[in-house]
Structure 1
């Protein structure tokens, strides 16, 4: 395995470390990741069922990896576009979609580092943007939220599933992952609210969903889903 132990502090260093890590992990099948994808999509559908229409809803799966979330989503929406900075993950995603007989207009992924600039993704806008188990990897959740909000249609929703910070503020991620996880304590409701509202998203709400064991520590972690809505002008 490659050596990822060097301290990472700048946003570009975190991005490079994550790209390297997930490029390496792309061809490892993790049942844990598949189960998390299933449980997170189920939690979103249970909480906001009206957002999932198999005839109308066009979704972005941001930081899609090899497609654990997209494969769950595609059953309940018209189309899913995955986005990730890991080329190896995107290649695996598209190969698996093709093997399932899915057409590119139903489920596909692109390798891109989105900036929220005009013309990205050929100008596509989405009814929902979903990001599962990845926000803790982003140095600035404020900037990430701003970028993702820019891809929403008016009235569209950003849905984020991640690990909730504990009230005592303890570290939740072991040292071996600190080079790819800037939010080592998880994410608090206040941090999420500030990021969403700072990006102009309205109707912020968050729900605790389930507990799952962290593979690296064996601890039970509390997961949540958060939603914000792009206002209609």
Structure 2
């Protein structure tokens, strides 16, 4: 299979999730609902949400499973996704519940604003689209494996936080064959199905290691490295829950980082 460009990968994801069948299935699957609850409960234990002050960004929000769980604990939520079908379903649920758009809404973002070659001008366009809000907390749940570059995605999310704001990423932790055989080998086992990878929908089929995520947070300014001690500050990494993915038992991690205060 020929490697895809960032633009091609983003388009593949958009086309895939714009399918009505995929959108409805995503909302109705027990696994997705259960995972949103488990991740939501873990986030409540990690971050001090305030229903009178906390502004939250739900990045790659899908149909809003994570947003709906956390909605009672925040002042406002803006969801962002490249799939219009997902965004429409998100907003329809909000409307049906009688929640105002000022409190909770989703926005469909043009593909070009999420390309890995994103520049400062694109950053500013995205900020304008979001109403120039600087968020207290941004979450991205079970979506990092879809992004061509997690370094670019993390840097973009950092740019949308207020000074002192937090980013939390939940996704699948990579597993080695040694976890199953006991042998000391470094090969990783694919976690996501080959078909989705061939379609360009899943970019990181092996999940992520703590080192990979930590490096992306450091490069985005959401974690600091002490030159003398070599210790990382403003960064947390914990296993939030476990799940079965395509017959494999996997860990679901939550990584967190803080943008430096002024």
Tell me the equivalent position of 2:209.
Answer: 188
**Among 216, 232, 239, which residue is 1:208 paired with?**
239
Distance 2:128 2:2 in 1: 35
Instruction: State the Cα distance separating 1:8 from its structure 2 match.
Output: 5.5
- Structure 1 pair 98/7, CA: closer, same or farther in 2 (3 Å)? farther
Tell me the equivalent position of 1:39.
Answer: 38
Number of corresponding residues: 224
The answer to whether 1:74 aligns with 2:71 is yes
Deviations 1:88-120 (A, max 9, x none): 110010001111111111110000144422534
Instruction: State the Cα distance separating 1:44 from its structure 2 match.
Output: 1.2
Runs of 4+ aligned structure 1 residues displaced above 4 Å come to none
The answer to whether 1:65 aligns with 2:94 is no
Distance 1:83 1:186 in 2: 22
Instruction: State the Cα distance separating 1:221 from its structure 2 match.
Output: 1.5
The normalised TM-score by structure 1 is: 0.92
Unaligned runs of at least 5 residues, structure 2:
114-121, 178-187, 224-233
Q: Which has the higher helix share?
A: 2
Instruction: State the Cα distance separating 1:7 from its structure 2 match.
Output: 5.8
C-alpha root-mean-square deviation of aligned residues, in Å?
A: 1.4
The answer to whether 1:116 aligns with 2:123 is yes
Distance 2:36 2:95 in 1: 19
The answer to whether 1:22 aligns with 2:17 is yes
Task: State whether residues 8 and 180 of structure 1, in contact with CA within 8 Å, keep that contact through their aligned partners in structure 2.
Answer: no
Deviations 1:29-86 (A, max 9, x none): 22221111111111111223x2x11111000000000111110110111111000000
For the pair shown, which has the larger CA radius of gyration, 1 or 2? Answer: 2
Map 1:77-226 to 2 at 5 A. Answer: 77-113=74-110, 114=113, 115-117=122-124, 119-168=128-177, 169-178=188-197, 179-202=200-223, 203-214=234-245, 217-226=246-255
Q: 1:207 aligns to what SS in structure 2?
A: strand
Distance 1:188 1:141 in 2: 12
Tell me the equivalent position of 1:3.
Answer: none
